[in-house]
Structures are given as C-alpha cells and as structure tokens.
C-alpha cells in the first residue's frame, strides 16, 4: 500500500499525548488527536501538528463513553480511510490520593472506566477495522500502543486505583497481542516513569528531590518527547516478531 499512514492518539492535545502525536507527525503519519475540550481550546496543539506537515483531525470525545469511542473511530475512518496506529494514551491520576483503607468505590470506578475500560474497548473497535484493511508498506495491518506506567508493577498504597488500572493495561496488552497476531496487528506497551506534564505538576518538588537522590540512573525528569520517540519506533512498524513487548521510558528507575 502506498500513501500516508494514519494514527489516532487519545489525550493527544497536551503532555505525553502531544509529544507522541508530534513524533508521529514527524514520522509521516496523518494524525487524529482526541481530547475532551472544545476545538478552539486546543488550537495551539493542532497548529503544532499541522506545522509538521500532517493532516490533522481533532476528535472531541470522552474515552470513558462507548458512544464517543465509536464516533471517534468512525470519524477517523471517514477522514483518513484507515487507521495504522492507535495510541491509547489518555488517562487520569486520582483526584485525591487516598490510602487503601479509605479509598472510595466512586473514585475507583471512574478511574478504571477512563484508564482501563476506555483503552480496552477502543482497541476492540479499532482492531475490528484494522483486520479488515490492506497491509501497509511495512506489511502490517496495524499497531496498537498502550501507554501504561511504571505503576503497573510498583505499588503505591495511596493510589491503588491508578496502579490497578495500569496493571490492567499491561495485561490488556498481552491479551490483545495474542488475539490479533494472526491478523498482522501488533500490540505493545510503553511504560513511562516520571514525566514532566500537568499530571505531575503537583509533585514537582518531591520528584526533584527524589531524582537528585538517585531515583533514576539518568538524573533528570522524562519529557513527553522521550515517550513520543519510543511510541514512534513501535507505531512505524520497525519491530517484527516482537508483539506484546514493553518498552520502559523511565530513565532507569532504581525502585
């Protein structure tokens, strides 16, 4: 198949998602980015992507909503005619950190719907379309990259919901990799460590201290572009015989 490839990055208008979308645009993808805000509020991000030469589509959708997920995938196929890379990046940290003994079911349920149910069922929708499409130049029908977290394996007792959601994303990666391999769709997990974004704005001083004390072997915060580079390598189909793999982008976390 000749022609441009298309990617969908959830939560792609800021932070890690924007870093990923920019790298994909630089790698020659047309890019659909998803967010919850009105288009005029995310125009700066859309302009940055357009400046990379990509055709850009903004999908305003809540990934926790099944209707929104369906509409988003439909919009991508209407605009680009195919989907080569789905990057499940959107996610939230708990509003309030609560010890396991005090955590509420409401907060748990909300977080799981966004961080786990959203990507799991968006993958299902995307996969059904990917397996119907002709293979790309790289011989693949599609790639799914799940952005999880080092919290998938490192327990934090004041945000158990987040850890469980990311451990679930790690297992979802294994499950989808196993289910989709026969169709030429590869599924990977990228596991960031401490990345400077809005999500970590409230813990800047704490992690400045921890990094200075040797939390990571590379003594700095990670950036959205660090994650974007890893995702782009996977999304471009550079790997083969490697589905289900995990790439750590954590500067060599020493935990």
List of residues contacting ligand NAD (CB under 6 A): 10-11, 13-17, 34-36, 62-64, 89-92, 114, 147, 149, 192, 194-195, 197-200
Spatial separation of the C-alpha atoms in residues 75 and 73, rounded to whole Å: 5
Cβ closest to ligand NAD, residue 91 vs residue 251: 91
Cβ closest to ligand NAD, residue 84 vs residue 250: 250
CB of 83 to ligand NAD, least distance (A): 17
Q: How far is CA 177 from the centre of its chain?
A: 16
CB of 50 to ligand NAD, least distance (A): 18
CB neighbour list of residue 3: distance below 8 Å, 6 or more residues apart: none
With the CA atoms of 158, 111, 7 and 56 taken in that order, what torsion angle do they form, in degrees rounded to the nearest 10? -100
CB of 61 to ligand NAD, least distance (A): 6
β-pair partners for 247: 190
Q: How far is CA 249 from the centre of its chain?
A: 13
- 58: annotated active-site residue: no
CB of 63 to ligand NAD, least distance (A): 4
Residue 247, classed as helix, strand or coil, is strand
Residue 132: its H or E element: none
CB of 139 to ligand NAD, least distance (A): 29
Looking at 162, 183, 188, 241, which residue is catalytic? 162
Q: Hey, which bits of the chain come out as E strands?
A: 5-9, 29-35, 56-60, 85-88, 142-147, 185-192, 246-249
Cβ closest to ligand NAD, residue 171 vs residue 199: 199
Task: Confirm if 72 and 8 have CB atoms less than 8 A apart.
Answer: yes
Cβ closest to ligand NAD, residue 6 vs residue 116: 116
Cβ closest to ligand NAD, residue 149 vs residue 216: 149
What's the burial of 18, exposed, middle or buried (CB within 10 Å: 0-12/13-18/19+)? buried
> What are the catalytic residues?
162
């Amino acid at each position: 198949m000749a022609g441009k490839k298309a990617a969908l990055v959830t939560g792609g208008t800021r932070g890690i998602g924007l870093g990923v979308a920019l790298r994909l645009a630089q790698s020659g993808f047309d890019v659909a980015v998803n967010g919850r805000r009105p288009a005029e509020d995310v125009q700066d991000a859309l302009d940055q992507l357009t400046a990379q030469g990509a055709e850009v589509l903004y999908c305003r959708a809540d990934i926790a909503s099944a209707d929104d997920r369906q509409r988003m995938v439909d919009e991508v196929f209407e605009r680009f005619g195919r989907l080569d890379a789905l990057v499940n990046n959107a996610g939230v940290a708990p509003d309030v950190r609560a010890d396991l003994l005090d955590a509420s079911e409401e907060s748990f349920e909300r977080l799981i719907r966004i961080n786990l149910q959203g990507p799991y069922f968006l993958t299902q929708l995307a996969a059904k379309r990917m397996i119907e499409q002709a293979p790309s130049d790289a011989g693949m029908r599609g790639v799914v990259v799940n952005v999880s977290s080092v919290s998938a394996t490192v327990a934090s007792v004041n945000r158990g919901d987040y850890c469980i959601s990311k451990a679930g994303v790690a297992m979802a990666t294994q499950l989808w990799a196993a289910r989709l391999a026969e169709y030429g769709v590869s599924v990977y997990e990228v596991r960031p460590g401490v990345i400077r974004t809005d999500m970590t704005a409230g813990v800047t001083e704490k992690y400045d201290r921890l990094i200075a004390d040797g939390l990571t072997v590379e003594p700095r915060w990670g950036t959205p572009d660090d994650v974007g580079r890893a995702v782009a390598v996977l999304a471009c189909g550079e790997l083969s015989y490697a589905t289900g793999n995990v790439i750590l982008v954590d500067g060599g976390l020493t935990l």
